[in-house]
A and B are shown apart, each in its own frame.
Chain A
Amino acid sequence: MNRRALAVCAGLLVAMPFVAGEYYINLASQILIAALFALSLNLLVGYGGLTSLGHAAYMGVAAYVSGWLFLKFGFGHLASAPLALLVTTLMAAVFGLIALRASGIGFLMITLALGQVLWGLAFRWVTVTNGDNGLSGLTRPMPFGIDLNGANAFYFFTLIIFAASMVCIVAFANSAFGSVLRGTRDQPRRMLALGHNVWLVRYLTFISAGFWAAVSGLLFVYYHKFIHPQALGLTNSAETLLMVIAGGSGTLIGPIVGAAIVVLLKNYVSAFVERWTMLLGFVFLFIVLFMPDGVVPGVQRLWARLTGKGRAPQRGQP
């Protein structure tokens, strides 16, 4: 994406709260949180070619740790946030050791199983997680004494965190390491022959994906001031994977567009009927059958053909 488009988007995002109503500002916050989460998953799915169906675990654990530290020990956010990030990242480091014994569909199955194990734990370990009731009565942080309980203030807080994370993720994807990562996705054997440690590259990516998911998990719990085992469930993992794939995996804009589509669809549909799960299933089928590349690469290709210039952007994940 070129600089002008980027500046326009940034301008729109900053101007949003001054024109839109509170409902839409909150919706925008949700989209940003979901987009950051999708971007973290995209590191694995899009750049690493490792499709995970247990990514909600990292978001959920970060949220639970933050909430639990507050409720149990009365930790402030300044202490609980770094601890939650640390615990989640360590967990990703352990899970990565297990899941990366396989790749492809084996990896998907193991991440799904690990994710469901944590979901079950959140439901059953009532003494810590409060089971099906979830952890409620949580608060939002007050950075520099600013109250974030208003929709506008929280939106800007989310936007700042999102932008900072986005810069880091873009730097990650465009770095030499990012190129090596894409290499391991497309030609793992060749990369191995070239002397790259394919396993280590994947492992480090796995950990960073866990870290960024944890960041989005903190935003998630700050937004809702509540956390329920559902946040760790397969549906959440699948929704996020859908954001990545529907938007276009392996692109930077794709997951953001996907997040916007899925969150808007979910909010719109839930206002009328309770059949979101079924619709999610149908959208999955539709995307997989008719739009396997996702929206963003499709539009980019179309644009390249229309203007007749520039090479067609590379397909992300085959």
Chain B
Amino acid sequence: MFDKPLAFWLIQSLNSFSLGGLLFLLSAGFSLIFGLMRIANLSHGAYFMLGAYIGLSALRAGFGFVMAMLLAGLAVAILGGLIERFVIRRLSSNPLGQVLATLGISFIIADGCLLYWTGDPQQLATPELLRGVFRVGEAVFPKYRVAVIGIACLFAIGLWLLLEKTRIGAMIRAGVDDMEMARGVGIPVSMLFTAVFCLGSFLAGVGGVLGGPILSVYPGLDTDMLPLALVVVILGGVGSLVGAFVGSFIIGFVYTFGQTLIPDLAYMILFLPMILVLALRPRGLFGRISA
């Protein structure tokens, strides 16, 4: 199993990083929503898939890749905001009901996508600029995957600045740490909920488009991605951006190498980091609150 050439390890590492980047976009929003609102948003995988499909249609309609990403992100963000206002808010005294409502919504979105975009797997076109590969010795790196890592890191830095350096970020952190106190000192928590839900949905939608050329988009993408996001968040700790970041790359590596070295059992391997963390530190590596 370990007698592979160096190039193999390099390429698979790159693949792991790019999957990790996609997972970060998916799970950062999930983690923030959970941290602030104490909701496990089970429709997050469906947002990712919906984003990818909208991106697909936007690309086919002749928009550029960046534009497709933004359009998909915005569309999913608006949908997320509406769902937060009109469904989740109505159930504010019933956390379990909220989770089940998001599950119901994920089924509706998934089946709606199947209805509109049919059941065939479809690949999003890689942007012109990022086709081709970099060569380093024996190893061949697709440019697009390198770009995905870069874009994910940019988003990570942007989110970090937003959370740590701005006023609204301070409000969100206050809400995560102590909702009652945050309300007490006059932070508009209700508005924050909607804002964070939109932000999280936006990230998932963008992630879907960004992942499209690598993962392609197909019915079931949502249920493939959701558990990965759950594992990342369990691993990193809910409500923690750093946790989502580190957790994403750990899972990116575990999953990618698992799939190439022992394809039959790749899904089982996902267990291991999760079990270790739950056994040793149930609130996750960087979690401040327990789930």
Is B100 an interface position by the 8 A CB rule? yes
Knowing A105-B40, A108-B40, A110-B278, the reply to whether A117 touches B91 (Cβ < 8 A) is no
A275 to B226, CA, bound (A): 22
* Cβ-defined partner of B234 (8 Å) among A53, A109, A235, A280: A109
Q: Tell which of A4-12, A119-127, A217-225 binds the partner.
A: A119-127
* A102 and B291 contacting across the interface, CB-CB below 8 Å: yes
* Cβ-defined partner of A101 (8 Å) among B87, B223, B282: B282
* B40 and A281 contacting across the interface, CB-CB below 8 Å: no
Chain B residues with CB below 8 A from A104, complex form: 95-96, 291
* Nearest A residue to B259, CB-CB: A124
Is A292 an interface position by the 8 A CB rule? yes
A113 to B271, CA, bound (A): 9
| Closest 9 A/B residue pairs (Cβ) | A106-B291, A284-B104, A281-B107, A120-B267, A281-B108, A278-B111, A116-B227, A277-B111, A281-B104
**Chain B window 258-279, contacts with chain A (Cβ cutoff 8 Å), 1 for yes, 0 for no:** 0000011111101100110011
* B103 and A289 contacting across the interface, CB-CB below 8 Å: no
| Size bracket, chain B contacts | 35 or more
Q: Smallest CB–CB gap between A277 and chain B, Å?
A: 4
* A105 and B91 contacting across the interface, CB-CB below 8 Å: no
* A117 and B97 contacting across the interface, CB-CB below 8 Å: no
Is B127 an interface position by the 8 A CB rule? no
> Chain B interface (Cβ within 8 Å of chain A)?
34, 38-40, 42, 87, 90-91, 94-97, 99-101, 103-108, 110-112, 114-115, 223, 226-227, 230-231, 233-234, 263-268, 270-271, 274-275, 278-279, 282, 290-291
Interface size of A by CB at 8 A reads 43
A51 to B290, CA, bound (A): 17
Given contacts A105-B40, A117-B267, A278-B115, 12 further A-B contacts (CB under 8 A): A51-B99, A104-B291, A105-B39, A113-B270, A116-B267, A124-B267, A125-B264, A238-B103, A281-B105, A284-B104, A284-B107, A285-B101
Chain B residues with CB below 8 A from A283, complex form: 104
**Chain A window 134-148, contacts with chain B (Cβ cutoff 8 Å), 1 for yes, 0 for no:** 000000000000000
Chain B residues with CB below 8 A from A281, complex form: 103-108, 111
* B96 and A53 contacting across the interface, CB-CB below 8 Å: no
Q: Smallest CB–CB gap between B164 and chain A, Å?
A: 26
* B95 and A121 contacting across the interface, CB-CB below 8 Å: no
* Nearest A residue to B30, CB-CB: A109
Is A112 an interface position by the 8 A CB rule? yes
A101 to B263, CA, bound (A): 29
Q: Smallest CB–CB gap between B137 and chain A, Å?
A: 32
* A289 and B90 contacting across the interface, CB-CB below 8 Å: yes
* B290 and A278 contacting across the interface, CB-CB below 8 Å: no
* A285 and B105 contacting across the interface, CB-CB below 8 Å: yes
* A288 and B101 contacting across the interface, CB-CB below 8 Å: yes
* B290 and A106 contacting across the interface, CB-CB below 8 Å: yes
Chain A residues with CB below 8 A from B275, complex form: 98
Chain A residues with CB below 8 A from B227, complex form: 112-113, 116-117, 120
A280 to B104, CA, bound (A): 7
* A282 and B104 contacting across the interface, CB-CB below 8 Å: yes
Knowing A109-B230, A275-B115, A317-B96, the reply to whether A282 touches B265 (Cβ < 8 A) is no
* B95 and A105 contacting across the interface, CB-CB below 8 Å: yes
Knowing A101-B278, A105-B99, A121-B268, the reply to whether A113 touches B230 (Cβ < 8 A) is yes
**Chain A window 80-122, contacts with chain B (Cβ cutoff 8 Å), 1 for yes, 0 for no:** 0000000000000000001001101110111011101110110
Q: Smallest CB–CB gap between A160 and chain B, Å?
A: 34
* Nearest B residue to A49, CB-CB: B96
* Nearest A residue to B263, CB-CB: A124
Is A233 an interface position by the 8 A CB rule? yes
Chain B residues with CB below 8 A from A126, complex form: 264
* B267 and A121 contacting across the interface, CB-CB below 8 Å: yes
Is A241 an interface position by the 8 A CB rule? yes
* A288 and B108 contacting across the interface, CB-CB below 8 Å: no
Q: Smallest CB–CB gap between B81 and chain A, Å?
A: 17
* A277 and B107 contacting across the interface, CB-CB below 8 Å: yes
Is A260 an interface position by the 8 A CB rule? no
Q: Smallest CB–CB gap between B62 and chain A, Å?
A: 30
A121 to B270, CA, bound (A): 11
A124 to B270, CA, bound (A): 14
Most chain A CB inside 10 Å of its own CB: which residue of B101, B103, B226, B264 = B103
Query: Could you give 25 example pairs across A and B, Cβ below 8 Å?
Result: A51-B99, A98-B279, A101-B282, A102-B282, A104-B95, A105-B34, A105-B40, A106-B234, A106-B282, A108-B96, A109-B233, A113-B227, A117-B267, A120-B266, A121-B267, A124-B263, A125-B264, A275-B111, A278-B108, A278-B111, A278-B112, A280-B104, A283-B104, A289-B90, A292-B94
* Nearest B residue to A282, CB-CB: B108
* A292 and B97 contacting across the interface, CB-CB below 8 Å: yes
Most chain A CB inside 10 Å of its own CB: which residue of B104, B226, B234 = B104
* Nearest A residue to B269, CB-CB: A117
Q: Smallest CB–CB gap between B2 and chain A, Å?
A: 22
* B111 and A284 contacting across the interface, CB-CB below 8 Å: no
Is A34 an interface position by the 8 A CB rule? no
* A289 and B101 contacting across the interface, CB-CB below 8 Å: yes
Q: Smallest CB–CB gap between B85 and chain A, Å?
A: 14
Chain B residues with CB below 8 A from A106, complex form: 234, 282, 290-291
